């Protein structure tokens, strides 16, 4: 609250941006027009704001930059975009360990099936059938999760050395070549596991990880082969909860997601099968902390692997840093009926890094930060509230921009004058598009 008022008082331009932000989520066309019409107004106030900005002398291209949640990479091959990750000496990525999390998710589903083998096969045909909601076929986290589930359940097939992550469409007869029927053995008995259907949950406007699309998909699938569906799996909780609410809850079909959003964790009490915490509380901290450290000109590990003067420090069981990739990765934890009580509020700061920084030693700095899609459940219901808690603790004045999840320009249009910020935190719509931002900062 205090932070918001201070922000508004400091620069009228922020109010203009907030209006544009609020109107940006419905459709590309109306959002773009709304943004464009405010551009002129923004530019005139930007000029005034730039003069008073503390960072006037630092070139935008030299300011600290953190990519988060979507790692600059080739959406077809997954190859990291090292040019973007090395944009300047204060550039980093913050995300989570996608492979470790994917393996955990697959294991969580397999463990559930094994523990409930006597009741899981709803139609008694000897086949354990599951459907899978895919977030974004070009996003490496989504790809990893699809592979993790197929790998654990034995339904994956090799494609160029790793598990094929393409959607199958429908495969109720087991004839697809994208997946295969898996087998699992429990108590000396062998069962078949089949991926009955999977699809990328992309809406007609182009937004991926789309929860509403997943709700529609489960309605369509269940209407034609509902009695074959024994398990529902999703690349994230937004889509998973949409499917749970649309169908699986009423039909007592265990549904598994990813992210440990508060609503999904609460739903475990009502039959949601489980989810994975990607330690968003650690990621949100790291996202802002690396900027704080770079702005303070201190060792980048301060308050991360090395305690800062306020006592903030992370232990090595919650994150790793890969220097070659310039990337911080939070570690994942499975959340199931056994431990969900500890995860009910996904927006609470992580206690070991919850100490306020001194305002004199760490004076307020201005940060521009965007969320690729204001409608993304994880980013809006878990990640952003966490960022908003940490920005106060780290004395950062963050301007939050919510994109439409469809076009980079919807976001970059609202970075009219980078000179008025000291640092940037970017969540791209598409992992290939880092240059949409770096060219702006290089001008
Ligand atoms: C999250 C998803 C989210 C996606 C957006 C993933 O890390 O788990 O819930 O929709 O990022 O980029
Ligand atoms: Ca069955």
pLDDT in tens, 353-399: 999 999 999 999 999 999 999 999 999 999 999 999 999 999 999 99
CA nearest 211: which of 232, 234, 191? 234
* φ and ψ of 324, to 5 deg: -60, -35
Residue 355 has what pLDDT? 98
pLDDT band at 142 (very low <50, low <70, confident <90, very high): very high
Q: Which atom of ligand 1 is nearest to 237's Cα? A: 9
Cα–Cα distance for residue pair 111/126, rounded to 1 Å: 18
CA nearest 442: which of 84, 59, 58? 59
pLDDT in tens, 42-87: 444 443 343 344 445 899 999 999 999 999 999 999 999 999 999 9
pLDDT band at 325 (very low <50, low <70, confident <90, very high): very high
With b for 16 or more beta-carbon neighbours within 10 A and e for fewer, the 52-63 pattern comes to: ebebeeeebeeb
H/E segment holding residue 199 = strand 189-200
Q: Is 210 in the pocket of ligand 1 (CB under 6 A)?
A: no
* 364 alpha carbon – ligand 2 mean position (Å): 58
DSSP letters for 127-138? EEEEEEEES-TT
The ligand whose atoms approach the alpha carbon of 228 most closely is 2
Entry pTM: 0.86
Cα–Cα distance for residue pair 257/343, rounded to 1 Å: 14
* 202 alpha carbon – ligand 1 mean position (Å): 13
What is the sign, positive or negative, of the torsion defined by CA atoms of 169, 172, 174, 175?
negative
List the residue whose alpha carbon is closest to atom 3 of ligand 1.
378
pLDDT in tens, 252-273: 999 999 999 999 999 999 999 9
Cα–Cα distance for residue pair 71/392, rounded to 1 Å: 26
Residue 39 has what pLDDT? 41
Which whole number is the average pLDDT over 86-109? 98
* 257 alpha carbon – ligand 2 mean position (Å): 21
* Ranges in the chain annotated CATH 3.40.50.2300: 117-253
CA nearest 167: which of 213, 119, 224? 213
Task: Name which residue leads in pLDDT, 160 or 239.
Answer: 239
Between the alpha carbon of residue 334 and those of residues 32, 174, 435, the distances in Å are 39, 30, 35
CATH topology of domain 117-253: Rossmann fold (3.40.50)
Q: Is 221 in the pocket of ligand 1 (CB under 6 A)?
A: no
């Amino acid at each position: 609250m205090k932070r918001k008022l201070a922000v508004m008082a400091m620069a009228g331009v922020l109010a203009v941006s907030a209006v544009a932000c609020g109107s940006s989520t419905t459709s590309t066309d109306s959002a773009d027009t709304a943004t464009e019409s405010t551009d002129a107004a923004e530019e005139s106030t930007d000029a005034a704001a730039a003069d008073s900005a503390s960072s006037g002398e630092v070139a935008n291209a030299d300011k600290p930059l953190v990519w988060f949640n979507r790692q600059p990479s080739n959406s077809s091959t997954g190859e990291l975009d090292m040019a973007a990750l090395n944009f300047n000496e204060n550039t980093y990525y913050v995300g989570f360990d996608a492979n470790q999390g994917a393996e955990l998710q697959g294991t969580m589903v397999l463990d559930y099936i094994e523990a409930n083998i006597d009741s899981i096969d709803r139609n008694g045909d000897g086949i354990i059938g599951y459907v899978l909601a895919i977030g974004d076929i070009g996003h490496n986290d989504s790809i990893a999760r699809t592979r993790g589930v197929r790998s654990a359940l034995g339904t994956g097939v090799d494609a160029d050395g790793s598990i094929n992550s393409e959607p199958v469409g429908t495969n109720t007869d087991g004839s697809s070549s994208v997946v295969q029927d898996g087998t699992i053995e429990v108590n000396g008995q062998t069962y078949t596991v089949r991926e009955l259907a999977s699809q990328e949950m992309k809406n007609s406007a182009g937004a991926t990880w789309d929860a509403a699309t997943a709700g529609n998909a489960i309605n369509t699938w269940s209407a034609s082969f509902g009695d074959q569906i024994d398990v529902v799996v999703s690349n994230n909780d937004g889509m998973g909860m949409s499917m749970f609410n649309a169908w699986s809850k009423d039909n007592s079909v265990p549904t598994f997601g990813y992210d440990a959003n508060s609503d999904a964790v609460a739903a475990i009490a009502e039959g949601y099968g489980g989810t994975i915490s990607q330690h968003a509380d650690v990621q949100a901290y790291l996202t802002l902390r690396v900027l704080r450290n770079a702005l303070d000109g201190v060792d980048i590990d301060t308050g991360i692997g090395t305690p800062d003067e306020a006592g903030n420090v992370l232990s090595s069981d919650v994150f790793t840093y890969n220097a070659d990739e310039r990337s911080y990765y939070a570690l994942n934890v499975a959340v199931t009926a056994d431990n969900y009580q500890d995860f009910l509020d996904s927006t609470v700061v992580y206690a070991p890094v919850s100490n306020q920084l001194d305002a004199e030693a760490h004076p307020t700095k201005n940060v521009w930060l965007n969320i690729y899609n204001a409608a993304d459940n994880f980013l809006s219901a878990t990640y952003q509230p966490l960022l908003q808690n940490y920005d106060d603790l780290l004395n950062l004045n963050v301007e939050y921009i919510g994109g439409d999840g469809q076009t980079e320009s919807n976001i970059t249009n609202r970075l009219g004058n980078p000179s008025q910020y000291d640092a940037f935190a970017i969540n791209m719509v598409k992992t290939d598009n880092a240059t949409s931002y770096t060219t702006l900062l290089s001008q």
